[in-house]
Structure 1
Amino acid sequence: MVASTSLDVVPDDPTAYKTQAYWEERYQKENADTTFDWFKTYEELKPLFSEIIPSKEASILMLGCGNSTLGEDMYKDGYKNITNIDYSKTVIENMKSRCVHMPEMKWLEMDIRDLKFDSSSFDVVIDKGTMDALMCDRGDVWDPSEELIAEVKAEVDEVERVVKVGGVFIYITFGQPHFRKRHLTRDCWDIKTRTMGDAFHYFFYTMRKERPSVNAK
Structure 2
Amino acid sequence: MNLLPKSSKEFGSVDYWEKFFQQRGKKAFEWYGTYLELCGVLHKYIKPREKVLVIGCGNSELSEQLYDVGYRDIVNIDISEVVIKQMKECNATRRPQMSFLKMDMTQMEFPDASFQVVLDKGTLDAVLTDEEEKTLQQVDRMLAESLRAGRPSGSLAWMRAGNSWRPVLWPFTEVSSMKAWTTSKLSCRLESWSWPQLGCPASSRSPFCLWVGTLGSGPFSTKTAAP
Residue 136 to residue 216, structure 1, CA distance change in 2 (3 Å): closer
Structure-2 residue corresponding to 1:208: 214
Residues 90-129 of structure 1: matches in 2 within 5 Å? 90-100=82-92, 101-129=94-122
Residue 85 to residue 174, structure 1, CA distance change in 2 (3 Å): same
Of 24, 33, 40, the match for 2:18: 24
Percent pairwise identity? 28
Structure 1 stretches of 4+ with a deviation exceeding 3 A read 213-217
Structure-2 residue corresponding to 1:191: 188
Residues 127-206 of structure 1: matches in 2 within 5 Å? 127-137=120-130, 144-175=131-162, 176-185=164-173, 186=178, 187=181, 188-197=185-194, 199-206=205-212
Q: Secondary structure at the match of 1:85?
A: strand
| Aligned residue type for 1:46 | C
Paired residues of 1:189 and 1:211 also in contact (CA < 8 A):
no
Cα deviation, 1:169-193, whole Å, max 9, x if unaligned, reads 0111114421231322432202211
Give the CA deviation at 1:70: 0.7
| Aligned residue type for 2:78 | D
Cα deviation, 1:98-145, whole Å, max 9, x if unaligned, reads 1121000001000111110000000000000001100123xxxxxx11
Q: Secondary structure at the match of 1:25?
A: helix
Give the CA deviation at 1:48: 1.1
Cα deviation, 1:66-97, whole Å, max 9, x if unaligned, reads 01111111111110000000011110000000
Q: Which runs of 5+ in 2 are unaligned?
A: 196-204
Q: Which runs of 5+ in 1 are unaligned?
A: 1-6, 138-143
Residue 86 to residue 163, structure 1, CA distance change in 2 (3 Å): same
Paired residues of 2:56 and 2:123 also in contact (CA < 8 A):
yes
Structure-1 residue corresponding to 2:49: 57
Kindly report the root-mean-square deviation, in angstroms, between the aligned alpha carbons of the 2 structures: 1.7
Paired residues of 2:152 and 2:219 also in contact (CA < 8 A):
no
Give the CA deviation at 1:163: 0.2
Bigger drift between 101-110 and 174-183 goes to 174-183
Structure-1 residue corresponding to 2:201: none
